[in-house]
């Protein structure tokens, strides 16, 4: 009896990360156990309509961020549960357009589009100059037109984090474990900023808050990465 009750509890739907759209009209979230795989749902914030399912894929799809224009989202699809996620742009009509390659050898964290829709910014244990996986996670700016990738910041210490873009898409806020971005000294959660327009980083001003973020070292991949991505689209069935 106890086992059956526990099994029933483990089948209840669970909501994952939720985020309101920049214009405040919608909220999107990941819904687990509502279907065979996790999917993305959206609903108006005024409660005027029922939740609407945007994805229906055989693999878990998780919400990452909203686009600045509130017309689409960035989502991550985890094929086979290995955490080598592929990032997509998802429209409110359910069309998914690939932003990164499927099953990459690196671990991508976060993913945000700039206000002009030209760049994708994310963190990954990837050296874009060589295409190879590395131990630490760097901040990567990917040009969506030419798919070229540039490292905007190169933290030395392994650390799992999600870089955040400001509203204008000109500055990136992120945490790093280096005491000084230019040295190898270590401390947890120093907040730093980086410009999206140039591959450099700078230390946060004196008095800036320090966020304690759990340390997590990405697992090294065994294959080399490719910066080439062929855009393709698909629609949510039904």
The hierarchical CATH code for the domain 57-235 is 2.120.10.30
- Tell whether the torsion through CA atoms of 199, 205, 211 and 216 is positive or negative: positive
Q: Which residue has the higher pLDDT, 185 or 57?
A: 57
Q: Which residue has the higher pLDDT, 50 or 188?
A: 50
pLDDT in tens, 171-205: 999 988 876 655 443 333 445 667 777 554 444 44
Average pLDDT, the chain: 79
User: What's the pTM value of the predicted model, to 2 decimals?
Assistant: 0.74
Is residue 117 predicted with pLDDT exceeding 70?
Answer: yes
Percent of the chain residues past pLDDT 70, beyond the cut = 73
pLDDT band at 4 (very low <50, low <70, confident <90, very high): confident
Distance in angstroms (rounded) separating the CA atoms of residues 141 and 21: 23
Is residue 138 predicted with pLDDT exceeding 60?
Answer: yes
Annotated domain spans of the chain: 57-235
């Amino acid at each position: 009896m106890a086992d059956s009750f526990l099994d029933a509890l483990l089948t209840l739907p669970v909501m994952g990360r939720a985020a309101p759209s920049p214009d405040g009209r919608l909220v999107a979230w990941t819904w687990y156990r509502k279907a065979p795989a996790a999917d993305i749902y959206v609903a108006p914030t005024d409660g005027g309509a029922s939740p609407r399912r945007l994805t229906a894929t055989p693999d878990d799809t998780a919400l990452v961020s909203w686009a600045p224009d509130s017309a689409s989202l960035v989502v991550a699809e985890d094929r086979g549960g290995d955490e080598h996620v592929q990032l997509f742009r998802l429209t409110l009509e359910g069309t998914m357009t690939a932003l990164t390659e499927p099953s990459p050898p690196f671990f991508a964290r976060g993913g945000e589009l700039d206000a002009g829709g030209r760049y994708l910014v994310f963190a990954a244990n990837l050296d874009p100059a060589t295409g190879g996986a590395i131990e630490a996670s760097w901040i990567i700016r990917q040009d969506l037109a030419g798919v070229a990738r540039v490292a905007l910041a190169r933290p030395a210490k392994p650390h799992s984090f999600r870089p955040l873009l400001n509203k204008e898409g000109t500055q990136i806020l992120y945490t790093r474990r280096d005491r000084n971005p230019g040295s190898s000294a270590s401390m947890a959660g120093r907040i730093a900023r980086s410009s999206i327009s140039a591959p450099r980083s700078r230390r946060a001003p004196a008095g800036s808050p320090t966020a304690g973020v759990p340390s997590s070292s990405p697992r090294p991949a065994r294959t080399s990465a490719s910066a080439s991505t062929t855009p393709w689209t698909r629609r949510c069935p039904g």
